[in-house]
Amino acid sequence: MTFDQILLFALFGVILSMLLWGRLRYDLVAAGGLLVAVAFGLVPQEKAFSGFADPAVVIVALVLVVSRAFENSGALTLVTRRLVSDHRPTSRHIAMTGGIGAALSAIINNVAALALLMPIDVEAARKAGRPPGVTLMPLAFATILGGMVTLIGTPPNIIASGIRERLLGSPYGMFDFAPVGGAVAAAGLAFVALVGWRLVPHRADQSAATKPSSFEAEVSVPEGSTAIGRHPTDIDEEARTADVIVLGLVREGRKLPRMRMPAIAAGDKLRLKGSSDAIAAFIKALDLQQPGDRQEGADVEADQPAGRTRRRSGRKEDNKPEGEEEEQRDKGPEVVEAVVRADSLLVGRSAGAMRLRPRFGVTLLGIARAGTLTRRGVHDNYIAAGDVLLLTGRGTDSATLDLLGVIPLSRASVAGSSPGRVAITIGLFAAAIAAASLGLVSFTIAIAMAVAAYAALGIVPAREFYLQIEWPIVVMLAFLLPIGAAFEEVGGTALIAEGIVTLTRDYSPVIALLAIMVATMTLSDVLNNVATMVITGPVAIGLARELDVNPDTFLMGVAIAASCAFLTPIGHKNNTLIMGPGGFRFSDYWRMGLPLEVVVLAVSVPMLLVVWPL
């Protein structure tokens, strides 16, 4: 071994140890490693920041913005709300939600796909009376599996394409991963739907973290609402679908019970009971957004104490800077569930006394607390520390909520889906894929053009654009790529490849393929899959060259393996996301994850040999 090789092996060892330790952020670890490599002359100074120009880094950033465009347009909600039901048997429910999650993960970031489906899945579990963890783990694994199908489905595929372009001369296409990745995803989904969910451990406390707060809320009926002119029985279908109970309405300050409810009119307030997600769904179904949420300059402020109203003067409130108002309008109307801190401005006061809406742009819809509420109206109830509030309005941005002294627990959009925006969002993405597939432009440029169009059309607002990019991942990748290139240049990957060849010399190259895939899977279970692919990708190509076989077989193999992080909650962000809602422990994942990884190997190796022959 040369001195440079020894230094780079030692540096990689330190980087891996620091990443596994987890006390420092992975982007800082990667930055420190790059600076050490430059200081020792292992990476030339002029190439230190070349990783930021790598197409793989750019695509990883842009794909996250595309994911946000699909969410903002309502395209994803339109699909999932129509297809997901709580009435199906568990296996069919998992097959349906997992199939949707896998399909979404093929075209958007798999973390975004899980984030979209997880609340729907939890709500379906509550309605069906089963622990949410039973279906959450299969859903998380399905979204990971779906990312293997396309180039942009998961970062390891993007990095594998970049490595192939650098070492073999050309990148992978959008659907080069589909034959093997699709077969693996289909087999994995069948396993989790038929067998895997039965291996998820059941405990009495698993659903404790997901038990929803129940609110008694008052929601105004604005002009243009589809509820106007309808009687209580006429809105039962929407109430049942959203899982809310219509208690009655308030008209001119008088509470009317359900049995005495007249036809609903503009200006009435519907009294509802249900969880925050359920109330948000009901608001969306009947277009009950507050007037202040849908248009500027609403004529009358409704949150005044009884008998008092005030006309807007047209001036902006001092508490709401113009930038924050624009940001909230860009985000669209939403319902926020927030807990009251002990030092909150609201403690001991009522919403009416605080004049929440005229002062802060916030409307209080409901209050949930451990005890029983008084018979006063929502806006006349005194708020206590620990109460959970249901809020809506322009003032639900983080800065205003922090000013009020409340901590947001969840957010649910009540913005309706626009067929035009949905069509534009999907059409732009499809055009970008078609242009790249036909070779008119590179895939990076095609996605960048689609993202620019999303920004120009306001589908992803300017203030939201950069917030969607997960900068720590982007920075880590950009800093690790020059170190990986240096490792390749000094012969480090060739040394590892020679070691694997020596161990498997008396066996078929298939054994070497299996060995490097198992090693990659093991590393990915404890390490970020981006870092895993940066390290093992060049090794796979080096190993194929040593064995004089097709390098694509081995590079595709490690790309599949790098995505298979099913044994621990830290192997993939989707595993981490379900840990709390599912009530899981660290040791719960391997029960379904280990046999799933065996299924992946059993399907992927034969498929690799057929699609990418040695």
**pLDDT tens digits for range 31-71:** 999 999 999 999 999 989 988 887 777 877 787 787 778 77
Give the pLDDT of residue 330. 42
Give the pLDDT of residue 344. 85
- Is the pLDDT at 533 greater than 50? The verdict is yes
Q: Which of 357, 346, 326 is nearest to 403 (CA)?
A: 346
- At residue 306 the predicted structure's pLDDT band, cuts being 50, 70 and 90, is very low
All residues at 6 or more sequence positions from 495 whose CB lies less than 8 Å from its CB, including other chains = 1, 5
Q: What is the mean pLDDT of residues 359-385?
A: 70
Greater pLDDT, 407 or 131: 131
Give the pLDDT of residue 84. 58
**Interatomic CA distance for residues 481 and 151, integer angstroms:** 18
- Is the pLDDT at 443 greater than 80? The verdict is no
**Interatomic CA distance for residues 268 and 259, integer angstroms:** 16
DSSP 86: S
- Is the pLDDT at 149 greater than 90? The verdict is yes
Least confident stretch, 389-393, 508-512, 595-599: 389-393
- At residue 311 the predicted structure's pLDDT band, cuts being 50, 70 and 90, is very low
- At residue 146 the predicted structure's pLDDT band, cuts being 50, 70 and 90, is very high
**Interatomic CA distance for residues 192 and 187, integer angstroms:** 9
- At residue 345 the predicted structure's pLDDT band, cuts being 50, 70 and 90, is confident
Give the pLDDT of residue 294. 42
**pLDDT, tens digit, 9 for 90 and up, residues 467-507:** 667 788 788 878 888 887 787 788 776 777 777 777 877 78
Greater pLDDT, 1 or 180: 180
Give the pLDDT of residue 23. 78
**pLDDT, tens digit, 9 for 90 and up, residues 94-137:** 998 899 899 988 887 777 677 667 767 876 777 777 888 888 89
**pLDDT, tens digit, 9 for 90 and up, residues 71-87:** 777 776 666 666 556 56
All residues at 6 or more sequence positions from 472 whose CB lies less than 8 Å from its CB, including other chains = 25, 26, 27
Give the pLDDT of residue 76. 64
- Is the pLDDT at 199 greater than 50? The verdict is yes
Give the pLDDT of residue 453. 92
**Interatomic CA distance for residues 320 and 394, integer angstroms:** 9
All residues at 6 or more sequence positions from 551 whose CB lies less than 8 Å from its CB, including other chains = 167, 168, 540, 541, 544, 545
Greater pLDDT, 427 or 481: 427
Neighbour order of strands in the sheet with 388-392: 254-257, 245-251, 269-274, 215-220, 363-368, 388-392, 334-340, 406-413
Mean pLDDT taken over the chain = 79
The pTM score is: 0.61
**Interatomic CA distance for residues 558 and 148, integer angstroms:** 11
Give the pLDDT of residue 313. 37
What percent of the chain lies above the pLDDT cut of 90?
A: 19
Q: What is the mean pLDDT of residues 187-208?
A: 80
Greater pLDDT, 429 or 144: 144
Greater pLDDT, 492 or 154: 154
- Is the pLDDT at 389 greater than 60? The verdict is yes
Give the pLDDT of residue 22. 67
Give the pLDDT of residue 327. 41
**Interatomic CA distance for residues 394 and 296, integer angstroms:** 10
Partners of 311 in the beta sheet?
Answer: 300
Cα dihedral 591→595→600→603 (10° resolution): -160
